[in-house]
Amino acid sequence: MDGLFRKITEECRKTGFLETVLEKAHYAPEDRELLWSVLEQVLQRMEGEACWSAKAMGDREPGVRAVVMTLGAGVDQLQEKMLAEGKLTEAYMIEVLGSEILLLAYSALNAWIKEHTDFVVKRYYFLGMGEYVTIQKGQWEGIDGERTDKEGTDKDGKTSGNHADGAVRIALELKTLPDMLEKSGLPVICTEGYCMMPKKSVAFYAELTKDRMVTCEGICMGCGRKDCPNRMDALERTRGNRTLDRPLTYGYARILGLRES
């Protein structure tokens, strides 16, 4: 396990992490012992399998990084084992814990970029948010990326790149996910329906900046920065804490015995 995920596992073993999960998932105090036991099993499965990639989109230090992070196939296998044994409570706990560990991974990535580069993360762009997003030249210093033959595509028509004027265009359509995962070099693939495997995986683009006043703390849920230009409005934040208002993830649907949509 590399340094980034090693720090994450250390954070997970602190009492504060478990208390946060207990509160957010509305577990009772008597669930603490079982939750701790499941957490230890999850962390053990992550050993040697949890990994990440944040590749530059260009030869020099970029303004955009293509990021893929995964907890590894072992966590999925543990969850399937619990389901096969009829341990639905434990299987659900694995889903909850996996989501919370990935939340820590976002913040850990931000910290890594701040420590190892001259940049900080400004915001994230997730596939499915639209067709593309263009980041104008001048939003960072000393950045170059790949040149494109025509607007919006590169030479192979798959990934994002730079316009002749220096603006970077990031393709955000879901159909670009397989190419993004392949280029990450990680053992992460996706189904025809763009469901990533291992399931506890995330893929996104991170826009970087040298302006540390606009650095992003992570994804919006749980972020207290009221001055953030990317902040969701109050209604979205309220709905974000109500799991049943949102489409079920593959893991939740699997536990509840629902078919994939």
Profile the chain (261 residues) by mean pLDDT over runs of 10 residues. 89 94 94 97 96 79 84 97 97 96 93 89 88 67 34 44 60 94 96 96 91 69 58 45 47 51 45
Please list the residues that pair with 133 across neighbouring strands: 170
Q: Which domains does the chain have, with CATH numbers?
A: 3-221 (3.40.109.40)
Q: Which two tokens stand for residue 92?
A: 């659900």
| Dihedral angle over CA of 168, 170, 171, 177, nearest 10 | 140
Length reported for the chain: 261
Per the DSSP assignment, residues forming a β-bridge with 202 are: 69
| Count of C-beta atoms within a 10 Å radius of residue 239 | 12
Q: What are phi and psi of 91, to 5 degrees?
A: -65, -40
Q: What does the pLDDT read at residue 209?
A: 86
Sign of the C-alpha dihedral computed for residues 126, 131, 137 and 143 taken in this order: positive
Return the H-helix or E-strand segment holding 70.
Answer: strand 64-70
pLDDT the model gives residue 73: 97
Q: What is the pLDDT of residue 215?
A: 65
Tokens 């009829």 belong to 86
DSSP symbols for 73-101: HHHHHHHHHHHHTT-HHHHHHHHHHHHHH
pLDDT at 164: 43
pLDDT at 2: 76
Give yes or no for a contact between 39 and 9, defined as CB atoms under 8 angstroms apart.
no
- What backbone torsions phi and psi does residue 135 show, to the nearest 5 degrees? -105, 115
Instruction: Name the nearest CA neighbour of 188 among 93, 83, 85, 102.
Output: 102
Report which residue type is found at 43.
L
SS3 assignment, position 24: helix
What is the rounded CA–CA span in Å between residue 173 and residue 186? 20
Task: Kindly state the tokens that stand for 171.
Answer: 């393709």
